[in-house]
Structure 1
Amino acid sequence: MNQLNEKAQGIDQITVQVVLGALENVAVEMGHKLARMSYSSIIRESEDFGCALVDVKGQQLCESTHSTPLQSGPIPGYIAGIRQIMQERGDEFYPGDVIMHNSAYHGASHGPDFGFCVPVFYKYELIGFSVTTAHHLDVGASTPGSCGIVDAVDAYAEGLQFKAIKVYEKGVKNRYIWDILRDNIRASDMVVGDMEAQIAAAKIGAQRYVEIVERFGLSTIQAASEELMNYSERLFRNAIKKLPDGEYRAVGFLDGYVDSDDPSKKNLKIVVTAIVEGSDITVDLSGTSPQIDDKPINMPLIGTVDIAIYLTLRSILLDSNSYGHIPQNTGLTRPVKIVAPKGTLCNPIFPAPTIARFCSGNIVADTLMKALSQVVPQQVSAGVGNLQVVAFSGMVNENYWVYMDIMEGSYGGRYGKDGMDAVDTLYANTRNNPIEDIESHYPLRVTRYELRDKECAPGKWRGGVGSIREINFLQDGSFSVEGDGHVFAPWGYDGGKDGYVGGLSIKSKTGEVVKVPSKLPNRFASEGSIIQLVGPCGGGYGIPFDRQPEKVLDDVLDGYISKESALVDYGVVVTESNNIDYEKTAEQRNQSYRQ
């Protein structure tokens, strides 16, 4: 399945494959060098960045494989937004230009995700773009950090906005833009250092792209790229054709602002209808809750919502175990149409704030997966446990320190497999930041980090387990949190039970514990305060009584479930000596089935 089966007009398939390898290696090199050159842990360790080459038509040719989909995926949207703005201004691209862009209403995923674009020229002809994106720890918002800002009243309160700004023009650095950045960003040495690393990686990509063109010729690269996109599109369309035509609908829910007196700001609804017609699929989000004008959990349609949809469809319908390596390019988006009424959470109207769109987008992906479970039940997981993103900050003398921590969630059970424990889910896909890195760079100490005990959703294939993390402030500071999944438990599937909600609490130096909502604006934390984060547990898949007794015993011994749960939820009798009483187990299960 991983070979190009049809001959492209005017180019042989060996050349196509060689060009594919060359392009992908460029993106991988960009990613490795960006990670190595960066200062912040969110890029260096968590790999919250993206790298891609885009052709002159704005079509993505390749992307860095070890970056997050929420960074690489939006890059064509960044380019479309940059070109739109430059056309409106009557501006043009020149060799030596470097363009900075973070407008959430012009393709950027949200304000903290800055894109740096280097236009690529060959013999004075514009042939494409080399782009890097990355999440930055502070962008000059009303409170420290670039996550956990859950109380911004509009787009202007979310930080600095740059719409296709040339930080280098014809090779000349615009020092005034850099002065603005340094003067308005907390921890500016780290943030500006990361930006300079992005530019260096983008320049490397541009140079490598030109080298490939010089080696093979521009017409060959263009023909090979088009064939690769056509190939990816053919694969995707063939997978869609296997689905019965029809409409498949599901509803998901967001916590929203549970402590608000306004009912329109909590218990929010995401509605997804997947419409299959031949080799086309339409994802209709009509029925989704209206946007919240003064709270930032709205999602940009281009840059967040579309990526959640593209990733989910591609992951479910083109599983790599079945299809092998598939070129990641714009061809994979061609069969998909997205309908999102303006003024909803999934397509807000400027200047509605969007900076806290992270967890919301995961619900879009999870709800689409729930809709598809009706037609491809063996290719989905049960409900997914969402994430929590925390911004820690403080002052040392007159200087800010800022740290961003992504608290992982968990997956639901899958056909034939248990859910994955304590991982970033769906379009997040960032890496865990090591405790040693946290404690060596910031006045924080991780005093507890473990899987949740005996809180595992029952199913033939159990749900994944979330983690518990406690972080102690070694000096006065502050923190804010963007999370979800504290009200609505991840859904169980095909007889599996629902998962468990997450939690957030603060323990003061005196020992007082206060539970707080999943979205918490910036709050002072005195020395000795402990923040406890509890990740949700994914839903179970399949009837629990069909789970193998030996696996149930393993779950008891591993602390995933109790002996009481083994009996009540699974019908498995575990003795005091931690063995299975098979006779009583058979009686228990037979009795339950008769009932």
Structure 2
Amino acid sequence: MSQNTFDGVRTAIIANKVDGIVREMTNTLLRSARSAVINSARDFSCAILTDDDQLLTAAEGIPVHVFGAQLQAQALRAAHPDMREGDAYLDNNPYVGNSHAADHTILVPVFVDGEHLFTAVTKAHQADVGNSIPTTYHAAAKDVYEEGAVIFPTVKVQTNYENVDDVIRMCRTRIRVPSQWYGDFLAELGAARVAERRLKELVAKYGVETIRQFVTDWLDYSETVMAKAIESLPAATLRNTGRHDAFDPFLPDGLDFGVRIDIKPDQGRIDVDLTENGPNVDCGLNLTEATTRAAVFGGVFNAIPARVPKNSGAFRRVVVEMNEGSAVGKPKFPHSCSVATTNVTDRLINCVGAAFAQLGEPYGVAEGAVGVGAGYAVLSGRDRRTDEDFVNQLCITANGGPGSAYADGWVTYGVPCVSGLMYRDSVEIDEIKMPIRYKHLRMVPDTSGAGKYRGAPSFEFAYTPTADPISVIYPCDGQIAPSKGVAGGEDGARAAAWLEDADGTRSQLPNTVAMVLQSGQTVHGFDASGGGYGPPLQRDPRLVLEDVLEGWETAEHATATYGVEFIDTPDGLAVDDAATERRRS
């Protein structure tokens, strides 16, 4: 970055303006989409890429969606070197840049006076993409053919601002609830066109040369910030391992993987080596190149105590090595990547972030809760209220965030791949859009991974059909291997789920579930919780007291786990300092 030409004030102003454009895209898509997984859970992201296929900004985009979007732009350029104004492209190809087949991505090249300057990107997780079973997480699929989704490798869907009707008719014919998909498709297109208009206005205000200089300066500045953050780290080689639960019968041994991280502060660089991991597995748990890179970047950003812009400039300082044909790397066609955005991705994010805790405070982070379980199930069936089919993914769960060197885990973390950036469903919207009823939703005390800073607690919920049977499909992880604590912190609670019959009898559900829930039956789900950071006996007793008063901990569990004694006073419960000191010593 040349200090002679760098204008910090101008760069900051324009950087905030392009972030504002992404937020306007986000609001447009959120308010105009039809499926609840998009307009209630916010399972989508928006981004702006440069003309040379670098991620410029994604504002609050979900990391697993946007940290690989530049790969999709590269694929677009390779397939369509003659892009023109008014074009729009649909991409969901997991083998060349996309996250997984369920993430339909719209890419709109933005031209000013015939010159390609940006590419606007909207990516939304669809409620259905035509899989062989009604779910977008087909964990059991041995390959992409069994998975069943229609793959669109950067296919043109608009030319001169007019729809290419052949492609749209293909989708409407193949996808289970076509009107819902088409509404979401139009919402994505609309959000991308909003970006196109706003970017043209931005260029008109500042001029092409100033905007080109800004792009160079902003990415170079981001690289410099990242380099300085790495230069402040101690030189080290870190190794860590992760494990995904066994999925019977198609992944009976589970999936073990490892990571090597070389921190090179003298070069301002981090090298991440994934090449020792095994080959693709014959099910839908394989990662894509985009999700592998996103997981590594996400884990690194979680672990280092620095505020770094999340764009391709910062990415330059993290070198990722991976194998082609590896479950934790690049997939080899036709292996299925149906669940590539979560499960193993979540485990890899945790593995990378937790590795940095080996450096001691203030580095690293515990493992966040995993488990796309019953609270993330895809439900489908016939709704007698409308006499129409329905399909949608729930996002009613919370999942506990990890403790860090600075703070307790985020309560509504979701799972590591979204890091709290998705919303929890509205109960009322879910019950309007689907023929289900929620029986209860509640936090569960005494479930946090204990630590100097604790993980966030588990969450429990239950739902049942209102009348007719409904299909319930999900691929839960975390019922066997918990989210690990670090630096002396304790592991989080494991996930679980039960099926309750009409007579009240209960049976525990396995990790992978594909069943028909009958009228009178209820699914009970229990989230995993986040791991703790640091020894529990080092937790500030005043924080422990606050946890008890807020209901996160019972007094008995707090005393047993954190060594804090309490006394009743005229003003209420208080810490017994002398008794606490004796117990802790």
Partner of 1:513: 506
Partner of 1:71: 65
Partner of 1:170: 160
Q: Secondary structure at the match of 2:10?
A: helix
Partner of 1:498: 491
Partner of 1:351: 334
How far has the Cα of 1:16 moved from its partner?
Answer: 2.6
Change (3 A) 1:313 1:507: same
- Aligned equivalents of 2:556, 2:8: Cα separation in 1: 60
Partner of 2:288: 300
Q: Which amino acid aligns with 1:377?
A: E
| Residue among 365, 372, 382 paired with 2:366 | 382
Give CA deviations for 1:355-406 in whole Å, capped at 9, x if unaligned.
Answer: 1121210111100011111225323332211132310111136632012113
- Aligned equivalents of 2:4, 2:301: Cα separation in 1: 24
How far has the Cα of 1:573 moved from its partner?
Answer: 3.6
Maintained 8 Å contact 1:296/1:353: yes
Question: CA RMSD of the aligned region, Å?
Answer: 2.2
Aligned residues: percent identity? 24
Maintained 8 Å contact 2:86/2:161: yes
Give CA deviations for 1:160-194 in whole Å, capped at 9, x if unaligned.
Answer: 11011111123342212111111110111111110
Maintained 8 Å contact 2:383/2:435: no
Q: Secondary structure at the match of 1:374?
A: helix
Q: Secondary structure at the match of 1:78?
A: helix
Partner of 1:233: 223
Partner of 1:122: 112
- Aligned equivalents of 1:544, 1:183: Cα separation in 2: 56
Q: Secondary structure at the match of 1:224?
A: helix
Maintained 8 Å contact 1:290/1:343: yes
Change (3 A) 1:390 1:587: same
- Aligned equivalents of 2:17, 2:531: Cα separation in 1: 41
Maintained 8 Å contact 1:48/1:71: no
- Aligned equivalents of 1:108, 1:12: Cα separation in 2: 35
Change (3 A) 1:396 1:499: closer
Maintained 8 Å contact 2:358/2:487: no
| Residue among 269, 274, 278 paired with 1:285 | 274
Instruction: State the aligned residue count.
Output: 568
Q: Secondary structure at the match of 1:565?
A: helix
How far has the Cα of 1:76 moved from its partner?
Answer: 1.1
Task: Determine whether 1:250 maps to 2:246.
Answer: no
Q: Secondary structure at the match of 1:410?
A: coil
Q: Which amino acid aligns with 1:504?
A: A
- Aligned equivalents of 1:542, 1:329: Cα separation in 2: 31
Give CA deviations for 1:177-220 in whole Å, capped at 9, x if unaligned.
Answer: 11111111011111111011111111121122122222222121
Q: Please list every run of 5 or more consecutive structure 2 residues that lacks an aligned counterpart in the other structure.
A: none
Q: Please list every run of 5 or more consecutive structure 1 residues that lacks an aligned counterpart in the other structure.
A: 321-325, 591-595
Maintained 8 Å contact 1:386/1:408: no
Q: Which amino acid aligns with 2:322?
A: A
Task: Determine whether 1:81 maps to 2:75.
Answer: yes
- Aligned equivalents of 2:9, 2:490: Cα separation in 1: 50
Q: Which amino acid aligns with 1:170?
A: N
- Aligned equivalents of 2:406, 2:22: Cα separation in 1: 34
Q: Which amino acid aligns with 1:19?
A: I
What are the within-5 Å matches in structure 2 for residues 455-494 of structure 1?
Answer: 455-474=447-466, 475-494=468-487
Q: Secondary structure at the match of 1:450?
A: strand
Maintained 8 Å contact 1:275/1:281: yes
How far has the Cα of 1:318 moved from its partner?
Answer: 5.5
Partner of 1:362: 346
Maintained 8 Å contact 2:366/2:403: yes
Q: Secondary structure at the match of 2:394?
A: strand
What are the within-5 Å matches in structure 2 for residues 206-217 of structure 1?
Answer: 206-217=196-207
- Aligned equivalents of 2:44, 2:26: Cα separation in 1: 8
Q: Which amino acid aligns with 2:286?
A: N
Task: Determine whether 1:572 maps to 2:576.
Answer: no
Q: Which amino acid aligns with 1:489?
A: P
Maintained 8 Å contact 1:55/1:128: yes
- Aligned equivalents of 2:438, 2:185: Cα separation in 1: 29
How far has the Cα of 1:108 moved from its partner?
Answer: 0.8
Change (3 A) 1:548 1:15: closer
Q: Secondary structure at the match of 2:450?
A: coil
How far has the Cα of 1:151 moved from its partner?
Answer: 1.5
Partner of 2:313: 331
Task: Determine whether 1:545 maps to 2:541.
Answer: no
TM-score scaled by length of structure 2? 0.92
- Aligned equivalents of 1:460, 1:567: Cα separation in 2: 14
- Aligned equivalents of 2:93, 2:305: Cα separation in 1: 31
How far has the Cα of 1:289 moved from its partner?
Answer: 3.9
Task: Determine whether 1:341 maps to 2:323.
Answer: yes
Q: Which amino acid aligns with 1:352?
A: H
Give CA deviations for 1:427-474 in whole Å, capped at 9, x if unaligned.
Answer: 313111111111122111111111113223332222210201111111
- Aligned equivalents of 1:584, 1:97: Cα separation in 2: 71
Maintained 8 Å contact 1:47/1:68: no
Partner of 1:273: 260
Partner of 2:446: 454
More displaced 10-residue stretch of structure 1: 99-108 or 238-247:
238-247
Q: Secondary structure at the match of 1:313?
A: helix
- Aligned equivalents of 1:193, 1:412: Cα separation in 2: 36
Partner of 1:323: none
| Residue among 427, 438, 457 paired with 1:435 | 427
Change (3 A) 1:273 1:379: same
Maintained 8 Å contact 1:381/1:411: no
Partner of 1:151: 140
TM-score scaled by length of structure 1? 0.90
Partner of 1:593: none
- Aligned equivalents of 2:347, 2:102: Cα separation in 1: 21
